Amino acid sequence: MPKCSQCGKAAMFEVGGHALCLGCKAKVDQMWQAELAANVGALNFALGMAEAQVGLPGMFPRFSVPHPTIQQGPVSVNNITVSDSVVGAINTGQVRQIELAMDRIAQGGDQELALSIKEFAEAVLEEKQLETQKKDEILQYLSFITAQCASTKLARKPSIAHVVLDRVGQVVETAKDLAPLWMPLLLKLKTFFQ
């Protein structure tokens, strides 16, 4: 597994040719957000100066200045347990994306769906009948599905989600121990995407 070029932890992202862990990527994102906010503020100032020069204040629209999201209130953390024997074999970045989406799903009020996703993801990771490639395939599909669940209703792609759900079902058929967890989750997800 590649190491972060800044701190030596396990890398999950690549930025400008540098492998970065989650913490270092967050720092880079914070710097980019601060730079964007400064640039947007400068553009708004320039527009204000131009309007003042021609004597028509408020003529041009302003850019909204992005503000960092600060979590207030309780934070739900849904950690998917990954055993040591599986860590090097799977894409832990996919697992992290699923966890982040599960947090948004739970915060949106559907804790039962988030818990079902967690249980299924952990079962996939521990399944002995599935080869690593199939586990990674299911995790990729699950990452897409959870991201769709966490997005706004207008941004969702339900027809693609249904195709992906069908494909997960085909892969799950090769590991009979996953079916008891998959079928209830499938019903919840099909209802969610109606």
- What is the three-state SS of the chain? CCECCCCCCECCEEECCEEECHHHHHHHHHHHHHHHHHHHHHHHHHHHHHHHHHCCCCCCCCCCCCCCCCCCCCCCCCCCCCCHHHHCCCCHHHHHHHHHHHHHHHHCCCHHHHHHHHHHHHHHHHCCCCCHHHHHHHHHHHHHHHHHHHCCCCCCCHHHHHHHHHHHHHHHCCCHHHHHHHHHHHHHHHHHCC
* pLDDT tens per residue across span 60-94: 888 887 666 554 444 344 566 555 444 444 556 67
**pLDDT bracket for residue 165 (50, 70, 90):** very high
pLDDT above 70: residue 1? no
Higher pLDDT, 145 or 82: 145
* pLDDT tens per residue across span 123-140: 888 888 888 888 888 888
pLDDT at residue 81 in the model: 58
Higher pLDDT, 17 or 84: 17
**Domains of the chain: which residue ranges?**
1-70, 84-192
pLDDT at residue 166 in the model: 92
Q: Residue 122 burial (CB < 10 Å; 0-12/13-18/19+)? A: middle
The rounded distance, in Å, linking the Cα atoms of 101 and 87 is: 20
* pLDDT tens per residue across span 34-62: 888 888 889 888 988 888 888 888 888 88
The rounded distance, in Å, linking the Cα atoms of 87 and 74 is: 29
Higher pLDDT, 81 or 108: 108
